[in-house]
Every structure is written in structure tokens, then in C-alpha cells.
Amino acid sequence: MLDQPIILLVDDQASDLRVLGQALEGLGEIHAATDGQTALELAQHYRPDVILLDVDMPLMDGYSVCEQIKIDPRLAHAVVIFVTSHRQTEHELRALKLGGADFLHKPINLPVARARVEANIKHLRAVQQLAYYDPLTRLPNRMLLLNRVRQALASAQHQASLVGLFSIDLENFKALNDSEGHAVGDALLQETARRLVQCCQSSDTASRAGGQRFMLLILSCNNLAELGHRAQQVLTTLCVPIMVAGTRYDLGACAGIGTFPQDSQDAESLHEHADAALYEARQAGRGQYRFFNAAANDSVRARHQMERDLRAALEAHQLDVFYQAKIDLAAHRVIGVEALVRWPQADGRVVTPDRFIPVAEASGLIVPLGEYVLNSACQAAKHWGEQGYPVSVSVNVSPIQFHDSHFEDAVQHALSSSGIAPGQLELEITEGVLAGEVEETCRTLESLRGRGVRIAVDDFGTGYSSLAYLKRFPLDVLKIDQSFVRQMLLDPKDAAIVETIIQLAHALDLQLVAEGVETPRHANVLYKLGCYVMQGYLYCRPMTCSQMTDYLRCPPAAVAGA
């Protein structure tokens, strides 16, 4: 709520001051000065809302005082009412030009003076309410908060004290507002505002920053531990369920904290840091708070930047799909290729998928990205088929893409538009996909296999330990993870794992591919254990579609003579 108005009376006649003071009693907090200089000092100190200013004073007249007040941004909002015995028009015009709002003529008619001041306060309040307060919660808005933060930082600098700014978000608000209607949404926001005010000490400011976002400016803490304690109290208060018309709503809240002078030197960065810390708090989960952390912020920024760049690259078709051959050593030929996405940069560097796939997954970009790879791979398979090399293509599918409701349509579209036989397409899923919702996963896999598409489990052995899913899900291929292949010549335990995976695949009638085959010794050992299909640098590195065409036309001796 708005504080009671502050009224400054300025007149060199002490008797005038006295009667005016009596006439205005009860309208606000009244201060008085008998000369211009003192008036300015009191104004600086008390920041009055209304100033009754005598025009004729020795040394500094009312006009000069008004001029000084109007050029000071912290005082300019004050309503200046001139008190004068002059009645000439030019005086009134000058007063208005200087920013005066009204006149009282001497001798003062006290009831009129009171009514004028009252009317001006009311008007000022209405304007302030609109400009500085959120109409729904009646909390200070972003603008007023920013003013208060600036003032707080100025005085904290002097007193070497601590200022904290909490950025608070309500977790389920958006969903509840959409499902329960705006009346419930408004009631939840109003109750949240009431609780925030309850948590405030007299020097603190609670503010609504828009939507379901609130801010709390804390001036009453001596150290970071105390600030953390206050944050916990606020979150505990906000996380108590809210009853609206007999229904219980669980909102949940989390908070980010920016601090002056620890991490921020000005109001803008304090705000920014509180928001950045809120992002971290949200990741941490319900009811959590986080202090701003510069290193975490840098990585969040870098991620956001990468997301923007990746989106642009995807829209501009700047991603490349590379291909790596899979060699059947028993048949001496390339039986398939795996599609591996690449992101070339303007400076010639190429970003590999392990760096940008997680960003694509977190942002949802993986769905269009995955479709792009799927379509490119099917078109490439069609091209190689036309050249006389009917190889299959394997495409990596992220769990998010797999569970997307349009995934099967995307697969069907890639098959129909390329015209390749469904058996030429293999989808590589990870154990993470199989660990999800069993029935839905089974349905999707069966439907894909029903179309003739083959399913491989990628990086086998690195995911979840349950082997039961090998029996439960319709699968065609296991790809032995390259970490086991790499280590199997060095560590007998890895060798044992590889051997077990190979036996398991034979027992369950699944085909096998070994990844990361880098040396002839790897290939020999795997072959002897019963794994005949190899993928790795020994045979080829991932390459462009046209390089792969050459490779298929003219495979190296390691393939043909294997």
C-alpha cells in the first residue's frame, strides 16, 4: 500500500506556517521550513509528495526553490502549490512554467487550503497508483521496484551494507490459470502477494514483475546466510497450498537471488543476476533457491546462444549428414551405413553431435533436426540404390524424438518420399528409450517393425541393467558400445562383457554390430568371438554422401580382403 503522504510547508512567516500546519493536520506527515535552503535540505531528506511554497522569501524565493526541486529526479514528482499574495497574471504564468501545480492566495482561506491539498494528494495518488503499482495485487510494479533498488544501492554503498533481490517464480501457475480459469488465477496471485507482504520487514519491498513472477527487495539482512534463510522462509510460506472457493491449489515456488555488492554493482545487473539464478533454482526443483553463480550463468548463456545458432543453422539447412560404413567381414562387403549429423561452422570448424544434441534435446529442436537427418539418410540410401549399392541406412533416434507423437508419421514420410524399401531403414535407439513407458514404447516399436523398419539398440551395455527388455521388445540388432571394444584388449573384464553380449545376441537371435573398431586386432578378436559386422575407423571415418558413394564403388582392401 502507499505510505501516508509527506507534506512540506515553506514560509518565512512562522505564524503562517503554524496556521497552515493546523489546517492540514491529519492529511499526512508534515514538515516545515522557514527559508529556501532549509526547504531544499528537508526535501532531499523526506522526499515530500506535496510542497506548499511561499513565493516571497528573502535570500532564495519560492520560484528558485521550485526550480531546484524540479531538476532533481528524486524530487520532481512532488506537487508544488505556491502560496502568494500576488495576484498578477505574470506571477501565475511563471509559477506554472516552473512546474507549479496550484495556487493559494494570502490571506489563506484555511478550509480551501485543506481542500486543495487534499484534492492534489488524491490526484497524485491516483497517478502514482497507475504508474507504479500492479492493479491486481496492488504491489509495486517493476518500475517502482527499480527506483527502490536504485535508492537502496545508493544508501548501501554509503553504509557498506548488503542488498538482496529475490526473483520468485510460481511453478504450476500457468497450467492452473489455463485449466481453472482466470478468476482462480487472479485469486492465486493475490494470495501470493499477500503472503509475500507478510514475509516483508519494514525496509523490504515486495513487487509483482508481471505474470507469475514476483520480486522481493531485501535490505534487512547482514550476511548471505541470513539472506538464504529469508529465501527459505519465503518459499516455505509460498509453498503452503492455497484454498480458493473450497478447492486446494498447490503452486510451489522457487527463487533466484542477486546480491549487492557480492555479484552486482548496479540495479540492472542485480535484476539480471536474480533472474539468472532463478533459472538455476528451477533446474534444482520445487521450493529451491539459488544464489547467482557467475560460472553457471556463463554456461547458461552459452547454451542459449548455441540453441539460437542451432535453430538458425537448421532453418538454413546448414547441418550436414555424414555416413560411416558397417562392414560384414564374413561377406566381405559394406552392408549398411550409419548417418551421423555434423554442424559445420563459418570458420571451418565442425561441431560434433555430442556437443549439440543435448542442446537440441533440451530445446525440442531435436524433433525437426531428427526429421532432417531421417529424410537426408533415406534420400542418400535411394541414391546409392540407384547407383547399384543397395545398402541400408541407420539413423540415430533420440528418446525425445521417439516419444514425439508425430515420430511414426515422420518415418513414414521419409520412406514414402524416398521410395526406399522399409527394410533398408534401421533406427538406432538407446536403452534409455526402452526404459521409458513400456506399453507405449512397445506399441511404437511394433508399429515401426510392422512397416518393415529394423530396430537396433545403440551403445548396448552402457544403459540400464535390466536385460528383461531384450525379450519384451521387438528388436533386430545390438550394437556393442565402443567403450567395451576399446578396452577389451586391455582389460579382461571388458573382454568378458563383449563375449557375454555376443552370446546373448546369438541366444536371442539378434544381429550384432561392434562399434569403435580401430585396429585389426579388435576385428580379429571380435570375429573369433562371433561378431562379424564392424564399424570403426579401421574401415572408414564418417564421410559426406558423395565420399561414401566413392567408398561404396571402390571399398578399400581392408573390406574386400577381410
* Amino acid found at 383: H
Strands (DSSP E) contained in 85-179 are 102-105, 163-170
CB-nearer residue toward ligand C2E: 207 or 394 = 394
CA dist., res. 142 & res. 512, Å (int): 61
CB-nearer residue toward ligand C2E: 215 or 548 = 548
CA dist., res. 496 & res. 492, Å (int): 6
In angstroms, what is the minimal distance from the CB of 136 to Mg ion? 52
Residue of the chain from 536, 555, 559, 562 that contacts ligand C2E (CB under 6 A): 536
Residues 6+ apart with CB under 8 A from 558: 327, 520, 538, 539
CB-nearer residue toward Mg ion: 82 or 484 = 484
Q: How many residues in the chain?
A: 562
Could you tell me if 481 and 515 are in contact, meaning their C-beta atoms sit under 8 angstroms apart? yes
Could you tell me if 145 and 209 are in contact, meaning their C-beta atoms sit under 8 angstroms apart? yes
354 makes contact, choosing from Mg ion, ligand C2E, none, with CB < 5 to 8 Å by partner type, with ligand C2E
* Nearest Cα to Cα of residue 426 among 396, 404, 402: 396
Angle at 539 between CA 537 and CA 540, to 5 degrees: 60
Torsion of Cα atoms, 168 then 172 then 176 then 178, to 10°: 80
Binders of ligand C2E among residues 415 to 444 (CB under 6 A) are: 428
CB atoms within 10 A of CB 296: 15
* Nearest Cα to Cα of residue 117 among 53, 69, 52, 173: 52
357 makes contact, choosing from Mg ion, ligand C2E, none, with CB < 5 to 8 Å by partner type, with ligand C2E
Residue of the chain from 48, 370, 461, 555 that contacts ligand C2E (CB under 6 A): 370
Task: Point out which residues pair with 53 in neighbouring strands.
Answer: 10, 82
Q: Which stretch binds ligand C2E (CB under 6 A): 292-300, 346-354, 381-389, 463-471?
A: 346-354
In angstroms, what is the minimal distance from the CB of 394 to Mg ion? 6
| Residue 340 binds to ligand C2E (criterion: CB under 6 A) | yes
* Nearest Cα to Cα of residue 341 among 364, 370, 302: 370
Enter the C-alpha cell of residue 43: 526535501
Task: Point out which residues pair with 168 in neighbouring strands.
Answer: 214, 255
CB-nearer residue toward Mg ion: 78 or 478 = 478
Residue of the chain from 352, 416, 462, 524 that contacts ligand C2E (CB under 6 A): 352
Residue of the chain from 188, 458, 478, 525 that contacts ligand C2E (CB under 6 A): 458
| Residue 515 binds to ligand C2E (criterion: CB under 6 A) | yes
In angstroms, what is the minimal distance from the CB of 535 to ligand C2E? 6
341 makes contact, choosing from ligand C2E, Mg ion, none, with CB < 5 to 8 Å by partner type, with ligand C2E
Size of the site for ligand C2E (CB under 6 A): 24
Strands (DSSP E) contained in 345-407 are 350-351, 392-396
| Residue 516 binds to ligand C2E (criterion: CB under 6 A) | yes
CB-nearer residue toward ligand C2E: 365 or 552 = 365
| Residue 381 binds to ligand C2E (criterion: CB under 6 A) | no
* Nearest Cα to Cα of residue 423 among 397, 376, 455, 460: 455
In angstroms, what is the minimal distance from the CB of 195 to Mg ion? 51
263 makes contact, choosing from ligand C2E, Mg ion, none, with CB < 5 to 8 Å by partner type, with none
Helices (H) and strands (E) in the chain, counts: 23, 21
Q: Which stretch binds ligand C2E (CB under 6 A): 185-193, 292-300, 394-402, 419-427?
A: 394-402
CB-nearer residue toward ligand C2E: 189 or 374 = 374
CB-nearer residue toward Mg ion: 235 or 325 = 325
Q: Which stretch binds ligand C2E (CB under 6 A): 166-174, 500-508, 514-522, 550-558?
A: 514-522
| Residue 336 binds to ligand C2E (criterion: CB under 6 A) | no
537 makes contact, choosing from Mg ion, ligand C2E, none, with CB < 5 to 8 Å by partner type, with ligand C2E
Residues lying near Mg ion in the complex (CB under 5 A) are found at 396, 428, 458-459, 515
Q: Say if residue 185 is exposed, middle or buried (CB neighbours under 10 Å; 0-12, 13-18, 19+).
A: buried
- Strand-strand pairing, 477-480 and 425-429: unpaired
Binders of ligand C2E among residues 291 to 330 (CB under 6 A) are: 324
* Nearest Cα to Cα of residue 53 among 112, 125, 123, 117: 117
Enter the C-alpha cell of residue 234: 519465503
In angstroms, what is the minimal distance from the CB of 487 to Mg ion? 15
Residue of the chain from 137, 264, 396, 441 that contacts ligand C2E (CB under 6 A): 396
Task: Give contact residues for ligand C2E (rule: CB under 6 A).
Answer: 324, 340-341, 352-354, 357, 370, 373, 396-398, 428, 458-459, 482, 515-518, 535-537, 542
